[in-house]
Amino acid sequence: MTARRGRRRAPPPPPPTGLLDWRDSSHWSQHEKPCRYCGFPTHLRDSKRSPAHKVCAEKALAVQAAEAADAYQQSGRLHD
């Protein structure tokens, strides 16, 4: 007997504002703190509550994805 595999659902499309969806109020703080990426003040917080501009966080994710793709291209597998 063989196991049946269900169809995988496609991931949801990115929000109209870009890659990250920070519309939830948990991404907002009353107090400005320096962005972890650029150092300029921001009221925004990432999912771990670290201060970060949405644009800066998206750039960092793009760099991480490019580095992972490059590592995979070079070695044929992802590194830790």
**pLDDT, mean of each 10-residue run, the chain (80 residues):** 63 63 88 97 93 92 86 69
Handedness of CA 28, 67, 17, 20 (dihedral sign): negative
| DSSP β-bridge partners for residue 44 | 28
Q: What is the spatial distance between Cα 14 and Cα 58, in angstroms, rounded to a whole number?
A: 12
**Which secondary structure element, helix H or strand E, spans residue 64, and what is its range?**
helix 54-75
Task: Please give the pLDDT value at position 1.
Answer: 52
User: Residue 44 has what pLDDT?
Assistant: 95
pLDDT recorded at residue 77? 62
3-state secondary structure (DSSP) of residue 2: coil
Q: Report residue 49 as tokens.
A: 């509550």
Q: Where are the domains positioned within the chain?
A: 25-74
With a threshold of 0.75, does the pTM exceed it? no
